[in-house]
Amino acid sequence: MQSFKYYAPTYVAFGRDTENRVAELVKKYGGTKVLLHYGGQSAIKSGLLPKVEKILSEAGIEYVKLGGVVPNPRLSMVRKGIEVCKQEGVDFLLAVGGGSVIDSCKAISSGRFYEGDVWTLYEHKDHATKYLPIGCILTIPAAGSETSDGSVITNDEVEGWLKKDYCVDEFRCKFAIMNPELTYTLPAWQTACGITDMMMHTMERYFSKDDDMEITDALAEALLRTCMQEGKKVLENPTDYNSRAQIMWAGSLAHNDLTGCGTSGDWATHCLEHELSGMFDVSHGAGLAAVWGSWARYTRGENMPRFARFAKNVMGVDTAGLIDLDAAEAGIQAMEQFFRSIGMPTNIHDLIGKEISDAEIADMADKCSTGDTHTVGGLKALCMADMVEIYKMAR
């Protein structure tokens, strides 16, 4: 059992109409001048943004709006946000949207008082010491950013773009407002990408070298089974409140560290995917589904019994009489089958709609390994050559 810290201080207000508490919660955490950060037109069309503006105004809370955050949120937008915060004297960041908007808020939070370039933080070359507090109204269950300590930003200012993360406890939202009704209008594709993302957050922690944290494993398995069961329901009936609620809460629990307590985790699939979405601007969840099976087959030898356990406890494979390798393969196939059943790709061709070239693979592996100078993955440390191999298996 690895020693661990667990710190998930976000105040979660979950249920119908919880967005009505936004002014109360902003005030509770000291906000007087808010940056209202959001994505595209959907927040306006749905009526959520106007509603939030009305609630803030009526409570006497000043705000300034900054919309236009896109999936794989951009550094250029972060810079804009930092500028607005400085000019307007913003003291609280309110994200209305999904993980991209929250991650953009987090980057703005870290850059607001930082004297250097905010990208330096994402390059892990420095730490900020002062942050703006963040709250959110979640509309897309997926990234788990509403309770996580992480933020992933795409640097759109460099050739070929670069996607990097920065993780600090100061990035934990002060509050997260989660009303499942706000997710009714999410298209099936985005819903499925979200389900995949949250399952992968759990699986990245589950597939580790450690086999001695039974309670964490049992909770992770329960979470994964629930995601599959409720995910199918929600795709069949997008306005089923209860299923939307399960999926929404699962997204937060999958990434607030609960499913990784005492285990060391892997995270290679995320690293491999970041290059894919960095290069092709694809949905993160779909990118994860496209490479996971290949990653699993390439690395399973490091802990075959764990893959066999996964097959039995998560995928419901009858593993009696099977050797671990066969059980593991059956489990991987079953998970790929699930991904396909919710419309996810399980290879790169289906993800990007064309054959990926050797040069593109080489480029991604080069970036992912920072020119073969470092490895990724806790279960098996992958060097550049390993990455090339996995991308080719997944092509």
Q: How far is the CB of 229 from its own copies (least distance, A)?
A: 7
168, 222, 304, 381: which one binds its own copies (CB under 8 A): 222
Residue given tokens 């802990």 in the structure block = 303
168 touching its own copies, by CB under 8 A: no
Using H for helix, E for strand and C for coil, what is the string for 109-158? HHHCCCCCCHHHHHCCCCCCCCCCCEEEEECCCCCCCCCCCEEEEEECCC
- Cα-Cα-Cα-Cα torsion 385, 386, 389, 393, nearest 10 degrees, comes to -170
The CB-of-310 to its own copies minimum distance in angstroms stands at: 15
Query: Residue for token digits 């693979």?
Result: 361
Quick check: 320 binds its own copies (CB under 8 A)? no
Question: Which one, 197 or 329, has the nearer CB to its own copies?
Answer: 197
Find the shortest distance in angstroms from Cβ 256 to its own copies.
9
189 or 241: CB nearest its own copies? 241
241 contributes a contact to its own copies by CB under 8 A: yes
CB 299 to its own copies: min, Å = 24
Residue among 91, 65, 165, 63 at smallest CA distance from 123: 165
CA distance 343 to 345: 7
Q: Does 130 bind its own copies (CB under 8 A)?
A: no
Phi-psi region of 139 (alpha: psi -120 to 50; beta: other; left: phi over 0): alpha
Position among 76, 129, 229, 357 found at the interface with its own copies (CB under 8 A): 229
Could you say whether residue 94 binds its own copies (CB under 8 A)? no
Q: Which of residues 246-305 bind its own copies (CB under 8 A)?
A: 246, 249-250, 253, 258, 261-262
Which residues from 11-30 bind its own copies, rule CB under 8 A?
11-16, 18
Q: How far apart are CA 248 and CA 244, in angstroms?
A: 6
Cα angle 78, 83, 89 (rounded to 5 degrees) comes to 120
In the list 8, 55, 64, 322, the residue contacting its own copies (rule: CB under 8 A) is: 8
Strands 33-38, 92-97: pairing kind = parallel
Q: DSSP states of 326-390 as a string? A: HHHHHHHHHHHHHHHHTT--SSHHHHHSSPPPHHHHHHHHHHHTTTTT--B-SSS-B-HHHHHHH
Residue 219 CB, nearest approach to its own copies (Å): 5
Q: Which is nearer to its own copies, 78 or 227 (CB)?
A: 227
Cβ 239 to its own copies shortest distance, Å: 14
Q: For binding to its own copies (CB under 8 A), which residues are involved? A: 1-9, 11-16, 18, 180, 212-216, 218-219, 221-223, 225-226, 229-230, 241-242, 245-246, 249-250, 253, 258, 261-262
